[in-house]
Amino acid sequence: MSNQTYTGAEILLKSLVEEGVKEIFGYPGGVILTVYEALYNQDKIKHYLVRHEQAAVHAAEGYARVTGKCGVALVTSGPGACNTVTGIANAYYDGYPIVVLTGQVGLNQIGNDAFQEADVVGITRSCCKHNYLVKDVKDLQRIIKEAFHIATTGKPGPVVIDLPKDVLTQKTAFNYPKTVKLAGYNPNYKGHPIQISKALKMLSEAHRPIIISGGGVLMSGAYDELFKIANYLKIPVAHTLMGTGTFPSNSPLNLGMLGMHGNFWANHAVSHADVIFALGTRFNDRITGCLQRFARDAHVIHVDIDPCSISKNVKADIPIVGDVKNVLGCMIDDYEKNKPNIYEVDKIKWLEQIDEWRQKRAIPKCPSDKLSAITVINKLYEMTKDLDPVVCTEVGQHQMWTAQLFKFNKPRKLITSGGLGTMGFGFPAAMGVCAAMPDKTVLNIAGDGSIQMNIQELATCVDYNFKVINCVIDNGYLGMVRQWQEKLFNKHYSQTKISHPDFVKLAESYGALGIRVEKEEEIEPAIKKALEAKVPVIIDFVVEGCEMVYPWVLAGEPLTKVLLSNDC
């Protein structure tokens, strides 16, 4: 064993290398400078300098979403740490693994209102999976090992490590632990075999079954198992926003997205099902509508690795705590061994009924002769689908149109904020995608409101040649909020008309490419030019201001009450 000792800052980086970390996103500051000095003296970790700490965390999450690995963000104390909270909460609600490293004042200054002090542990306690305040350099290696273990196991999520500056200068030997053992933390991956057999029997005997595929299917990598069990049992599959891409969109069993802006037929299928097989979803309000009237005649089989998610919102008749991939694998083995009768005639009738509901579609209607946002997003899909792009979004109308109009046959291709609904997420998340996959076509579909939340990251993209193509749906409003005001608040558009800079000149001022599109015939040349560009791009699509997203289930209404047009 070597007698050599290292500073806490050096140990931090050596520990990250042990965890396989090759990229981090961050922003320096006074108390964290020892770490940046250590970064300067090594060559195994690439650091990307963002322009705002929130963007660092979103970029780390974007990296995690496309790779399945743990993303890492590094910031300083006080305001730097506080600026990470939105990003931490976003990763927490959508369940993605990141480790956020925050600077902290010295241990003897904590609680004394020192310059740039903030109670990071207290502030982040409610929006992360776990957090640590390191009090001794000898604990640092163990804490980092535990942090990555907690972030990536069970239901993934963010872990925060608060690093006092004196801990970063203290020295100790480096002996990175090989294993982790945490009392009280032992996620159950297998699922109970008796419960799985009960579930298979119920699904086989069901007359009107449906599968809801959530984000847990994506995180567990259960795509092949889901496809196999759905086809074995002849069960249609609807997905949540977070479950996009977990079941091939070209399969006849795919019902697409359900919920507030989901397909009419998917919502009716769920509402009239006799058995719901819910995989890796927490049944949030966006997919249930009025909870008291949600699928009242259905028996519910709920699979989730997080026991707290089961029966939290919708009571499960057969709860199964376990990893979706493992549970479905066991169910497939059971089916192949015993070949249960699946009531095929009834299931064919059920699929025929769903096909009748498929005829009820939203009727998009642009209220003027101006460019339609739906036309723009349709054209984006048609011109990029063969490039296998990663599509990031901000939050709002453009997000829902993207989820509806893009066809995703693979997972990890739609990067969007679901649970928290964070405006400003998409652009920095796209940077994380570019860092992970530098040769990939990366789109960020944004609104003119949400793009301004983190538009300063154009500088980061130019510095590192992240060729993000920002497609701004420029309607002059906070579009989704304006839509609610039109329908629910007598067209009182209070504080939703928004101004913005000249996006073309702004892009050029950063050294990026700016393009403006105002007519339908300009769409295709603009997209082609953007795809050929060697720099980041903003395309300013100037569209009609009052276009609406349909289908639409108003908040508090049941899923069967679906608005399909302005005339509803």
The end-to-end CA distance of the chain, in Å, is: 75
Name the token pair of 246: 């977990």
Nearest Cα residue to 296 out of 512, 558, 88: 558
Distance CA 83, CA 91 (A): 14
Catalytic residues: 53, 115-116, 165, 480
DSSP 8-class letter at 470 = E
Beta strands in 229-388 (DSSP E): 237-239, 254-257, 275-279, 299-304, 318-321
Distance CA 151, CA 130 (A): 8
Element (H, E) at 151: helix 140-152
DSSP 8-class letter at 371 = P
Given a contact cutoff of 8 angstroms between Cβ atoms, the answer to whether 238 and 258 are in contact is: yes
Distance CA 17, CA 36 (A): 15
DSSP 8-class letter at 372 = P
Given a contact cutoff of 8 angstroms between Cβ atoms, the answer to whether 148 and 99 are in contact is: yes
Reduced to 3 states (helix: H, G, I; strand: E, B; else coil), residue 211 is strand
Nearest Cα residue to 189 out of 342, 34, 306, 70: 306
DSSP 84-129: THHHHHHHHHHT--EEEEEEE--GGGTTTT-TT---HHHHHGGGSS
Name the token pair of 547: 């276009």
Distance CA 475, CA 499 (A): 10
Name the β-bridge partners of 477: 497
Sequence-distant (≥ 6) Cβ neighbours of residue 349 within 8 angstroms: none
Block residue for tokens 């979706």: 324
Reduced to 3 states (helix: H, G, I; strand: E, B; else coil), residue 265 is helix
